[in-house]
Structure 1
Amino acid sequence: MLNKISLFKKLSLSVLVIFLILVLGFVWISQAIESVSRAQAEQELHKDLAAHLVHDNPLISSEQLNSDTIGNLFHSMMILGANFEFYVLDNSGKIINFSAKPNEIIRQSVNLKPLNDFIQNNQQFPIYADDPRGNEGKIFSAAVIKEGDKKIGYLFVIVRSKIYDSVFNRLKNNQQLKTILLVAATSILFLFALIFLSLHFFVQPLRELTKAINSMQQNGFKEKSSLIKVAKSSSEINILTDAFNQMIAQTNQQFDQLKLVDAERRELLTHLSHDLRTPLSSLQGFLETISLKQNQLEPKKRQEYIERSLKNAQRLKHFVDQIFELAHLESGHVSANFETFPIAEILYDLKEKFSIKANRKKITLQVKLKNEKLQTSTDIGKLERVLNNLIENAIRHTPEDGVISLELVETEINNQVQIIVRDTGIGIPEEEIPFLFNARYRGSKTAEDGERHIGLGLTISKNLLKILGSDISVKNNDDCGASFSFQLTTV
């Protein structure tokens, strides 16, 4: 049932109930305090009443305390002051004379302790004593009745008589009815004020926020959403709105990123298809030529076609291997197997490995270092793969009679060395440097084949170095060529 009630109604009902409880509690406490204060004031005002009556009426001081004369005296005083009831008690508290009708007396004795506390002023007002005509305590005035020096009883005067209580309760009921009506009217006014304030400062902004969120949901997040704007409201609603706006901004950013990634993916597929189609078409062409003209081709020409087909097949395989390697690296499931080894050793090994390929282009491949004892702890296989890509890239972009240097330089930072692959090639256009390590970017034509290729090798190198805890940078040399460098930690 409560689940079907709107938040606004729940809040209004809750606040109204709390308001009524607080108001009724305040009224009850106020009336209780008022009652105690009135009783204290009346008892203080009439505290000497019994003593004056005993002093001014000799009959009360005689031993005929139960005589009709005293009863008539009490009756006369009640007529003059209907607010009082008069009782004469013996030394044990037994009622021996009184101003009321006999059938109205429900108890025959009164506890004397409150009376003695009153007479001896041992307790703060109001002090309550037994009511001979009722079960509730009453404020009173009391005095000792003596015959000479002998105490013969007490004069016990109830300040609020039954008649007084009857009149007071009737008036009190009327006042309570007025109070209830006033509370009801105040509650209704408060409810209307609450409705207005809630609609203006809380409910309406919350509805606007809900409407904006539903609008986002209806478009299925297929397009960018506008930021939510709601009327100025409570800090909680503003905080909630800001949180949703941050979420929308992040969602829009992710939406833009997805569109960019999708566009880059399409561009990458286009470039991949081009780079795959070129060697594949060449391979197919040579094989078809060999197949159609196998009896007409000279052995030397046939061998040339076979070698070109093999070269294109190797090129195709190398490119496909790079695609799979890049996908594997970007999956995030690649770890490094660190081991300690001399850095100079891997540089000299790579020099020997690429010397034949460099010699074919009349390129000088050299190693430059000052300290051959420097060691590092890293994944030797991944480091070698990085250097392979950089050296192959340098050979591809360096013309004949060029120089490629593998340099090991100690830096000013402790335990840090820099490995540099420097060439004297054609260099890199400055506008291409920021995109050089992007797999989706097609670089300039190489010095080797005059074709534009996407830079998978450099992208793979950057990802491998990231796994090794390093990063790669590139810059053009002052004279010619470019330099690729990264840092390693020595041990």
Structure 2
Amino acid sequence: MLNSLSLRLPAALVLLFLVIGIAMVLLTRVSADRYYQEITQRLNAPVAMYVAGEAPLIRDGAVNATALQSLAHKAMVINPSVEVYLLDADGRILAHDLGTETPLRSAVALVPVQRFLADGNALPLFGDDPRSEQGRKIFSAAEVRHAGRLEGYVYIVLGGQKYTALAASAEASEALRLSTLAVIGCLLFGLASALLIFARLSRRLRRLTQRVNAYCAQTIDNGEHVSRVRGDEISQLSRAFDAMQGRIDEQMAQLRDADHQRRELVAHVSHDLRTPLATMRGYIETLTLKQGALDPDEQRRYLGIVHQHTRRLGRLIDDLFELARLDAGLIEPERTTFCVAELASDIVQEFRLDADRQGVSLTIERGPADASVYADIRLTERVITNLLSNAVRHTPSGGRVSVLIDDGGDDVAVQVTDSGSGIAAQDLPRVFDRGFRAAAPVTRQPASSGLGLAIVRRILALHDSEIDVHSAPGKGAAFRFTLPRALPQRHSRGG
């Protein structure tokens, strides 16, 4: 319930102030009572001595009850709360001023009495209360001697039953009630002030938490708000920091990987550009230097080689340009409804001549005639073209390449399979990286730019689709992707 720091801390503060308030009230009452008892005992310490010195109270063990009653009456006139007892030398009660009431104790412990007589400054001292089986109260005591011999003690309880009853009734007095209300008022004022100060100080923390939560909900959590996690603001900030740290580490790893791929791509592209350029320059220089010395057939052969390398350069530049536009987000798919089986058949026909020339069997397995998808027809054509080109390039003579259109479920699947050299297991995770080349092609076609599969993956990502590859060395490879099926209400705009 109290997941918010702005609620938990005030709750803890309320509990702390409550405990402090109760402790202050109790400590104040105990301290005041203790102070009152010490002052009362100091003021009344000589009372027992005065009573014992007024008249002989014990002589040869005989108690002078009349004198005791008279002296007790005088003492009570001065302090109505006192109770006077006469003890023998062993602490047994010989007489008292309680009238017909009988004390609950027959004797009083003499250790506190002797301490009182030995050191009257260590106050307050508590002795046994004869009218209570367990009670202890402040007292005044004095020795009773006759002819130099200790006969007993005068033992005066300074806070008798009358005082106890009066103190109990005073607990409900106006003064005590006002003092209690004053303490409670001070505590409430301190609590309100502390809560106000805390609210002002924690406002920035709450705002920071809200900003971090909003940022995480938009950029990190993919819609899952960090604040939905149980915990207070500090816990949420900690989790948000961990999420951002993980995201930053992931992005740094992606940046390092992208930089590594960029360096590899630059190295591959530099080589791919340098090789045809050097070849073209060599043949053009030869044609220039030997102009008129070469027969027409040889000139045509040289020009054909130059033209072949020119086309290779054009394809490489086109791939680089298209990949750059895909990476920059400059290409948006123009979705339309078309039959992917018909598109694949047209592309297969375009590759059939090259496949036959290389001795590769090229087939297509079509699904139902209505295998229509909703996608960008031009980009889809580029995907299938790149996959077929890659398959034919890595399939030896006598091998086969097949295109399968699987019309099942909510999507239409396209799979390009070859019986070529396959891809090593360690190369599978990198097969769609820019500039990556697996094994050398087994045909005489020039090596690819290493960008075709990277372009395929980015085009499919624009269609919210992924491509899977299954391969093993010497067993060929199979590339499979899906496109969303066209809904009936979508009208066909191409085929």
Normalised to the residue count of structure 1, the TM-score between the two structures is 0.49
Structure with more contact order per residue of length (Cα contacts < 8 Å, sep ≥ 6): 2
Q: TM-score by structure 2 length?
A: 0.49
